[in-house]
Structure 1
Amino acid sequence: MKKRLQIFAGFLLAILLIFGLLWVIFPKAENRFADKKPSVLTEKTVKYAALGDSLTEGVGDATAQGGFVPLFAKELENTYNISVSSENFGKAGDTSTQIYNRMMKQQKIKDGLKSASIITITVGGNDVMKVIRDNVSHLSTMTAKDFSKPEVAYQKRIKKLLDTIRESNPKAEIYVLGIYNPFYINFPEITVMQDVINNWNDATDSVVSKEKNVYFVPINDLLYKGTSGQKAVESDSNSDSVQNNLLYTGDHFHPNNTGYQIMANAVFAAYKEVNH
C-alpha cells in the first residue's frame, strides 16, 4: 500500500510539474477582442470643415444645401462607409483677407477647423474681382501685368491663412480649390481674363505645393467652357449672349447644381489620390 501511495504521489507530482511547465510556456490566452476597437471605417465620424467664399456657401445651388460641400461629404460616406460631420463656413463676397479676419474673429470657425480631419477652402475669385473694381476707370487697357503685384500680395495672404490653420490643426488634409473664368463663353476674345485666371491659379498652387498635407484642386478647365467643352447655346433668341450650362442662370457667374457636382467630384478625386 505504501509503495502504491508513493507511486501515485510521484505520478501526481509529475502531472503537476507538467501542467506548471505548460502554464509557463503557454500562458493563459487573453481576450483579444476585449479592448479591440471596431474599424475606423465603421466607427469613425470624420469631421469636415469647409471655409471660403460664395462657392463654399453654395450660391447658385437650387437646393440651398451648400453647393459642393454636402455632395463631397456624401461621396465620402458612400465610398468609405463612414459618417461625415460637416460644417460650412462659406460667406459670399469674401476675399482672402475677409476669410482670414472672419476665421480669427469667430470662435465657431476656429473650433471647427481645429477639430476637422478634412478642410476645403475656396478663395481667390473675389480677390481677382477686387483688382478689377479697383481699376474700373481703365478696364479697357488692363493687361495681365496689372494683376502681378496684387497676385504676389495674395500669395502672402494665402500662406498666412494656411499657416494659421496649421497652428491649431497640424494633421488635417487641406484641399484648396482653384478659381474659374465665368466670362469665357460670352467673351472668349478677352484672353487677358483667361491669362489672369491661369496665373492666379498658378500662384495659389505655388503656395499650396510648399505646404505639408495641403493640395490644390484645379476647376477652371472643368467649368469655363460648359459640359465637356461643348459649344454653348444661345440663352435668348433675341440676344447674342450665350450661356455656360454649368453656371447658375440667375447670375451666369456661380455654378449651378451640375457645376457644383463637378466641383465635388474634383475634390473627391483629389482625396482618393491622396488616400489610395
Structure 2
Amino acid sequence: MYNYPLYAALGDSLTVGVGSTIFMPNFVKCFHQSLESFFRQPIARLVFARNGATTGEILESLSRPDVSQAVGSARFITLTGGGNDLLRAGKVWLKTRDNTFILSALHESFANIEQIITKIIDLHSSDPEPFMIRILNLYNPVPYIPESHIWLETFNEKLLSLERFAEVRIADIYHAFYGREPHLLARDHTHPNPLGYRIMADTTARLGFAPVALQKI
C-alpha cells in the first residue's frame, strides 16, 4: 500500500501545527525528520488531526476507513490529545470554581486515550511487523493558575500507566516546557511557537524508536 514505512500522526491542533509559521517546521515535520535521520531512509507521512479536536473526537476518527487503514499500517504513530478537553473544563472552572468539571474531563480524556491505544493495537493484531506509539503529555499554557499544575500532573501521571503496553512511551512535554512557557508559546499564549514544536519533537525522539528500531525496516 505504501512505498515506504508509514508515520501516522493523530491528534488536535498540536499535530496540525497551530502556532508555527509557514516557513518553520511544526511538531509532525520535526519528528518526521528525526525518523528519516535515524533510519536513513524515506518515511511516508499521513496526518489525521483537527484544530480543537477532543479525545473523544480523535477516538471517533479511528472508525473512519481511511484513518483505520493508515493507522493499522503505520510503523510509527504519534498522538496529541487532552488539551481541548481540559481547556473547556477550565473555562467552566474559572466561572464556577467547581472542580467537578475538571475531574470529569480528566477521567473522560484519559479513558478515551486508553481506548485509542487499545484500538490502535487491535488494528495491528493481524500484522506481525513491530510498531511504536508515542503519546505526548500536556504542557501548561496557564501556569499562572496554581491549580492547573495539579490538574496536569494528575493527568500526565495517569498517562504513564499506558506504558504497560510495549509499543507505548510517553513524551514528557510538561517538564520540557516547565518554567519556559512564555518563551515556547505562540502569540495566542496557548499553542507552541516553532521553538516549542522543535522541543516537543526532540523530547519525543529522545525516547527512541523501539520496538521498531530493534529490527531493520
TM-score, structure 1 as length reference:
0.69
Q: Give the letter aligned to residue 112 of structure 2.
A: R
1: CA distance, partners of 2:71 / 2:140: 29
Matched, 1:256 2:193: yes
2: CA distance, partners of 1:194 / 1:212: 28
2: CA distance, partners of 1:272 / 1:99: 23
Aligned partner of 1:116 in structure 2 is: 74
Structure 1 residue 136 displacement after superposition: 4.6
Which structure is higher in RCO with an 8 Å CA cutoff and minimum separation 6?
2
Structure 1 residue 60 displacement after superposition: 0.8
On the 8 A contact 2:11/2:53 being kept in 1, the answer is yes
Matched, 1:101 2:60: yes
Q: Give the letter aligned to residue 108 of structure 2.
A: A
2: CA distance, partners of 1:62 / 1:117: 28
Structure 1 residue 112 displacement after superposition: 1.3
**Post-superposition CA distance 1:218-269 (Å, at most 9, x none):** 101112422xxxxxxxxxxxxxxxx8121112x1110011110001101111
Matched, 1:247 2:205: no
Name the SS for the 2:133 alignment partner.
strand
**Post-superposition CA distance 1:26-70 (Å, at most 9, x none):** xxxxxxxxxxxxxxxxxx832100000000010011027772111
Of structures 1 and 2, the larger Rg is shown by: 1
Aligned partner of 1:40 in structure 2 is: none
**Post-superposition CA distance 1:131-163 (Å, at most 9, x none):** 22344531xx345x7633432233222221111
Name the SS for the 2:207 alignment partner.
helix
Aligned partner of 1:157 in structure 2 is: 112
Aligned partner of 1:73 in structure 2 is: 32
Identity, in percent, stands at 27
Unaligned ranges ≥5, structure 1: 1-43, 227-242
2: CA distance, partners of 1:147 / 1:205: 19
Aligned partner of 1:49 in structure 2 is: 8
Aligned CA-pair RMSD: 2.2
TM-score, structure 2 as length reference:
0.86
Distance 1:271 1:101, change over 3 A: same
Distance 1:224 1:253, change over 3 A: farther
1: CA distance, partners of 2:23 / 2:149: 29
Count of aligned positions = 207
On the 8 A contact 1:175/1:216 being kept in 2, the answer is yes
Aligned partner of 2:153 in structure 1 is: 198
On the 8 A contact 1:224/1:244 being kept in 2, the answer is no
2: CA distance, partners of 1:258 / 1:65: 9
Name the SS for the 2:43 alignment partner.
strand
Aligned partner of 2:169 in structure 1 is: 215
1: CA distance, partners of 2:14 / 2:29: 12
Structure 1 residue 174 displacement after superposition: 0.5
**Post-superposition CA distance 1:83-138 (Å, at most 9, x none):** 1111111111111001111221x322112101100100001111111222344531
